[in-house]
């Protein structure tokens, strides 16, 4: 008789969910534990922040996804510690859950490089709550600017500063520029939304550092066509409610600062009591386990592993998906530690959208810019969304915005009482 393994999966993101689904037909009892009740499609989270999509368009309840998987259960709880020797995870309420195999995929948060006090004024975009808070600030800024008696007074509400010139920063900068120029222009009487200034700040020589220079140059030119001011080789020294201060003393007054400059792995990984890198990631073995514990796998944003060329694997959705499937296969087939083949990442490329009809893509040795890259970006993101309903809703919203310029998710839930 085949014994049934108890598998605990921490995190319902791309990695954790694919690990759980990969065990559907295996001799396993799977428990997925997540702080929220939903799986979030993070690549489109910035579009919630920019009022393009509604939260329900890119999020699906984890229970719904696993509803037909008879060997899977879901718990909404926060894991605060992992006890390796006891083979247990500890929940925030003190409950303990035992495991035979543990898949750790808790995701990451934004890193402020020793300045955590900046988060209050410069939130990042990692959760629905983050995106909704940024959307609220964005929409309230236009409302408050409309009530100002002078252009100089309104300036702090119409300046948007995005710190970090990676894919997320580029995408949110383009989205904010478009909402000002295409969506808001007909909606206000006292202010001209076209006066909105969007700044994209990057410490490196070019934006999109992981991309070839050709794609970075195209992205910069496309953003500048949208009115975005791109500041490269620029270091931030201070952030507060008055704005952003740069090395050299320059201040950009702004109440709308978005952080997209770095990630820090979940603090839960510290409870493993093993070596972590500077970003808080676990230096995993070739089979994605931790040294000395072949039953504990760490995947996704929390894992540090180098490819054949000695470069760290990218912290993107395809990496987590492939790792989740790999781990599921190892557990399902009960492959002994000394028989496991090393995890190999298949690079499917990188993409970033800048605005309507404008995107960059790197597919192997080939690069694409412009409309074809944008079309490929749209199709691939639709395909990766979980659930037919979500795919249809996102497609409809994109078509509606494309042809009308209007964005439907512009309700302010908390009103103007916030001391923004």
d(CA 194, CA 268): 44
Residue 334 gets the label, from left (phi > 0), alpha (psi -120 to 50) or beta, of: left
Of 253, 280, 238, 201, nearest in space to 115 by CA: 238
* Of 72, 68, 46, 69, residue with least CA distance to 57: 46
Q: What string of H, E and C letters represents the secondary structure of 374-399?
A: HHHHHHHHHHHCCCHHHHHHHHHHHH
> Which residues have a Cβ under 8 Å from the Cβ of 244 and sit 6 or more positions away?
122, 161, 163, 201, 236, 238, 251, 252, 254, 257
Q: Cα separation of 258 and 232, whole Å?
A: 16
Q: Is 171 a catalytic residue?
A: yes
* 219: DSSP letter: H
Query: What three-state secondary structure class fits 314?
Result: coil
Nearest to 298 by CA among 264, 337, 272: 272
Catalytic residue among 78, 85, 136, 171: 171
Q: Considering only CA atoms, which of 180, 161, 157 is closest in space to residue 169? A: 161
Cite the active site residues. Answer: 171
């Amino acid at each position: 008789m085949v014994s049934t393994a108890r598998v605990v999966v921490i995190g319902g993101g791309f990695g954790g969910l694919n690990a759980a689904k990969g065990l559907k037909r295996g001799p396993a009892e799977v428990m997925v534990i997540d702080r929220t009740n939903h799986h979030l499609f993070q690549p489109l989270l910035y579009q919630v922040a920019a009022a393009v999509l509604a939260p329900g368009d890119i999020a699906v309840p984890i229970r719904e996804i696993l509803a037909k998987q008879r060997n899977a259960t879901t718990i909404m709880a926060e894991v605060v510690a992992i006890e390796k020797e006891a083979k247990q995870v500890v929940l925030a309420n003190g409950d303990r859950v035992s495991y035979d195999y543990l898949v750790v995929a808790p995701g990451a948060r934004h890193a402020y490089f020793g300045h955590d006090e900046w988060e209050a004024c410069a939130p990042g975009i990692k959760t629905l709550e983050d995106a909704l808070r940024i959307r609220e600030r964005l929409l309230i800024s236009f409302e408050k600017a409309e009530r100002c008696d002078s252009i100089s007074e309104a300036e702090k509400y119409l300046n948007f500063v995005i710190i970090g010139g990676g894919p997320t920063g580029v995408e949110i900068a383009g989205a904010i520029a478009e909402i000002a120029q295409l969506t808001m222009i007909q909606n206000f009487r006292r202010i001209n939304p076209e006066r909105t200034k969007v700044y994209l700040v990057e410490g490196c020589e070019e934006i999109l550092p992981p991309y070839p220079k050709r794609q970075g140059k195209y992205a910069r030119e496309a953003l500048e066509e949208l009115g975005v001011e791109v500041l490269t080789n620029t270091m931030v020294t201070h952030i507060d409610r008055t704005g952003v201060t740069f090395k050299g003393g320059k201040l950009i007054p702004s109440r709308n600062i978005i952080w997209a400059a770095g990630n820090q792995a979940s603090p839960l990984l510290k409870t493993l009591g093993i070596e972590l890198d500077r970003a808080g990631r676990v230096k995993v073995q070739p089979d994605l386990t931790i040294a000395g514990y072949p039953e504990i796998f760490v995947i996704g944003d929390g894992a540090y592993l180098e490819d054949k060329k000695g470069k760290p694997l990218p912290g993107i959705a395809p990496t987590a998906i492939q790792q989740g499937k790999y781990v599921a296969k190892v557990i399902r087939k009960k492959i002994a530690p000394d028989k496991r083949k090393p995890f190999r990442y298949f690079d499917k490329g990188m993409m970033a959208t800048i605005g309507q009809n404008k995107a960059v893509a790197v597919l192997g040795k080939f690069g694409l810019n412009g409309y074809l890259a944008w079309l490929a970006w749209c199709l691939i993101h639709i395909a990766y969304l979980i659930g037919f309903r979500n795919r249809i809703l996102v497609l409809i919203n994109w078509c509606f915005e494309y042809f009308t310029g209007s964005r439907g998710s512009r309700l302010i839930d908390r009103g103007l009482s916030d001391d923004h």
